[in-house]
Amino acid sequence: MKVRLHGTRGSYPTSNRENEYFGGATSCVELINGTERIILDAGTGIIALGSEEYYKNKEFNILLTHLHMDHIQGLGFFGHLFNPNNKINIYGPSTTYESLYSRLNRYLSPPLFPIPFRDVPGNIEIKEVLNTELIIGSFKITSNFIVHPGPTVGYRVENQGKVLTYIPDHEPIMGSMEMFDDDDWLSGFDLAKDADLLLHDAQYTSKEYSSKVGWGHSSMEHAAEFAHRTGAKHLLMTHHDPLHTDEIKKRDFGEFMDNHDYDFEIGLAVQGSEIQL
């Protein structure tokens, strides 16, 4: 499968020269197997997928990790939602009392959005996920709740013997750099076990993390240690802090790599790049 990164920025979109290498669009990843595609998260990165030239399918599957704005902001501007001939399946985590539809409707309705969600012309089906396994075409998908404020899942997607794990927002252990010794106490462990590619939150440096405990994000150290523990073969750090320019990102990552020695590939996620698994 091909993994296309359409949005790698966390928190909010940016648009300036200093950020253009890693990109300013927020979370969105597309997985492609022949004519089959699924979309992970609907940050502003999804907007680029909205044209009919780019995306000729009539059925779309969008899997949301959670409903923070940087993961759904592009949904209302995803062009295919406005074609009545399109079928759009939106998956996302449920809460105990409020449905996913109702929670999405809080954003996709006035005054935050011009029209109510129910008036969007496309045929939208909302499907709630928990610790769930689902099959979409040739994609086998597992969702599990992970540590992040509000109901949040990560996704493990298997296709033709390859595994992509997507955990863009994750604070595996709060207020510490030390994860519990046993793997079964590690949030997200089953999702990332032996993944061929792990896309994981690494918003902060360890120094920055110390003043952002409980915000739900990882330092680069957390991400690398998590990848090491789970046996992931390739880690791409994502959910870049909007205040980190390309220069800062490259500098911090360079320093991190100078001080750590892991036996798997580590890189920074770049908007517009594509990885073949």
Partner 1 sequence: MAAHDIEVILSRQLADCLSLPIFIVGPKGTLLFYNEPAEQILGKRFEHTGVLEVDEWSKLFRPQDDKGNTIPPENLPLVNALNKRKPAAGSFWINSLDGKSHKITVTAYPIIGRARKFSGALAIFWKEEGEV
Cα angle 97-144-133, degrees, rounded to a multiple of 5: 95
Binding mask 140-169 for Zn ion (x = CB under 5 A): -----------------------------x
Q: Does 177 bind partner 1 (CB under 8 A)?
A: no
Give the length of the chain.
277
Whichever of 130 and 243 has its CB closer to partner 1, that residue is 130
Could you give the CA distance from residue 265 to residue 277 in angstroms, rounded to a whole number? 14
Q: Residue 141 forms beta bridges with which residues?
A: 134, 157
Hey, which residues between 185 and 204 contact partner 1 (CB under 8 A)? 185-190
The only residue of 41, 70, 171, 241 in contact with Zn ion, by rule CB under 5 A: 70
DSSP assignment string, 202-252: --B-HHHHTT-TTSS--BHHHHHHHHHHHT-SEEEEESB-TT--HHHHHHH
Q: Does 99 bind partner 1 (CB under 8 A)?
A: no
Q: How big is the site for partner 1, counted in residues (CB under 8 A)?
A: 23
Q: Does 130 bind partner 1 (CB under 8 A)?
A: yes
The only residue of 37, 68, 240, 249 in contact with Zn ion, by rule CB under 5 A: 68
Q: Which two tokens stand for residue 150?
A: 């509000």
> Cβ of residue 128: shortest distance to partner 1, in angstroms?
9
The only residue of 15, 51, 57, 131 in contact with partner 1, by rule CB under 8 A: 131
Find out whether 28 and 272 touch, Cβ atoms under 8 Å.
no
Return the SS3 of 180: coil
Could you give the CA distance from residue 123 to residue 183 in angstroms, rounded to a whole number? 42
Whichever of 109 and 132 has its CB closer to partner 1, that residue is 132
Find which of Zn ion, partner 1, none residue 154 binds, CB within 5 to 8 Å per kind: none
Where along the sequence are the contacts to partner 1 (CB under 8 A)? 93-96, 130-131, 144-147, 151, 173-175, 180, 183-190
